[in-house]
Amino acid sequence: MMIALVFVAILMFAGCTTQESQIVSITKPIKPTDDQKALETSNQPQTKDTFSSVIAYDYKPGGRRDPFKSLIVKKEEVGKKGQSPLEQDDISTFRLVAIVWTGKEYFASITLPDGKSYTVRKGMRLGLDGGIVHEITKDTVVVKQDQAHKRDLRSKEVILRLRSGE
């Protein structure tokens, strides 16, 4: 029994020494041979400036979109292209407040979502889709918008009512 324990102990110590030597051999730095050094130097261009061998890439956008900007554009960002504040919001967000008759023609007072009011006349542009005030009556404002639908140009009428509850 004692012989078996001594034999197992010898095997364990023998196994530990070989594992330690393997670890040591892995951590030893590997020195290149003279042949490898000659091969490395022959592949490199013979220049004095070490940065001249680096290839630089010059990106020219040439009308391409910015790859870091989102493809999804918010409705508010699209609306900022208009000339006046009346062209920067959707017509459905407008509120018709009052209509004034001067004896010759009608004028309308419209409130935008930001709380500011504007006077609107026939022929003025309204909304994001390029709508034009077609007609103002005593209780409505009719806005015509041209929309492209399956290769057809259709006209859509949006009616703003003074009294929407009736």
Q: pLDDT (tens digit, 9 = 90+) per residue, 76-122? A: 555 455 478 888 888 889 999 999 999 899 999 999 988 999 999 99
Cβ-count burial of 142 within 10 angstroms (0-12 exposed, 13-18 middle, 19+ buried)? Answer: middle
- The first and second tokens of residue 36, run together, are 């490898």
Asked whether 112 and 100 are in contact (CB, 8 A), the reply is: no
Q: Is residue 20 part of a domain?
A: no
**pLDDT given at position 42:** 53
Question: Cα–Cα distance between 145 and 129 in angstroms, integer?
Answer: 7
Q: pLDDT (tens digit, 9 = 90+) per residue, 18-37? A: 444 455 445 555 666 666 66
What amino acid is encoded at 31 in this protein?
A: K
Q: Is residue 74 pLDDT above 70, yes or no?
A: no
Compute the average pLDDT of residues 4-20.
67
pTM over 0.75: no
Percent of the chain with pLDDT over 90: 23
Q: Is residue 102 part of a domain?
A: yes
Compute the average pLDDT of residues 63-84.
69
Max distance between CA atoms of the chain, in angstroms, equals: 126
Q: Sheet containing 95-101: give its strands across.
A: 95-101, 106-111, 117-120
Q: Is residue 28 part of a domain?
A: no
Q: Which domain holds residue 134?
A: 86-161
Q: Could you tell me which residues come within 8 angstroms of residue 12 by beta carbon, excluding any fewer than 6 positions away?
A: none
Q: Which of 11-15, 62-66, 70-74 has the highest mean pLDDT?
A: 62-66
Q: Is residue 37 part of a domain?
A: no
**pLDDT given at position 18:** 47
CATH number of the domain within which 102 lies: 2.30.30.830
Q: Is residue 107 part of a domain?
A: yes
Q: Is residue 36 part of a domain?
A: no
Q: Is residue 142 part of a domain?
A: yes
**pLDDT given at position 133:** 93
Compute the average pLDDT of residues 60-84.
70
Domain count along the chain: 1
- The first and second tokens of residue 108, run together, are 């309308």
Q: Could you tell me which residues come within 8 angstroms of residue 121 by beta carbon, excluding any fewer than 6 positions away?
A: 105, 107, 108, 133, 136
The residue assigned the tokens 């680096």 is: 54
Report the b/e string of 112-123 with b at 16+ CB within 10 A. Answer: eeeeeebebeee
Q: Is residue 127 part of a domain?
A: yes
